[in-house]
Structure 1
Amino acid sequence: MCSCWTFADRPEAGDATVAWTGRVNTVTAPTDVVDAGALLLRPDGLVAWALPTGRDLDVTMLARALGTWFGHPV
């Protein structure tokens, strides 16, 4: 199982993972340590995708990363 961590009130990144429910957990956490709006972590803990702070979410790129690591959406 992997996690999609959302920071700085970026719930749209977590919302984009709904089609991978059961394979991706969404965690929302406040932080000032990570310079990212959201991270997709692989099961081995490495970052599979990152949304830089202040950037708009590109749902296509996130869906591509999710599909690469976790298969087709349900």
Structure 2
Amino acid sequence: MKQNNYQGALQTPLHSGFHGASTTADVIEGIDLTGKIAILTGGNTGIGPAAAPAHQQRRHYVIGHKFNC
């Protein structure tokens, strides 16, 4: 059996229009979060370091949280 990150679990496409090359900026494009708070859990790993600046560039209020498990 071919090894992958999914360890045998199958994923169903959501047909969201986004894909592996989509950026945080692509995902939040056109979303007005004025007066809202964006909470990023795991803001120090994975997509967190890319998500925070994308929100901040749009002047969204961002709270980042780092988990140490």
TM-score (norm 1): 0.26
> Normalising by the residue count of structure 2, what TM-score does the alignment of the two structures yield?
0.27
Higher helix share: 1
Q: Which has the higher contact order (CA 8 A, sep 6+)?
A: 1
Give 1 or 2 for the bigger CA radius of gyration: 2
Larger strand proportion of the pair? 1
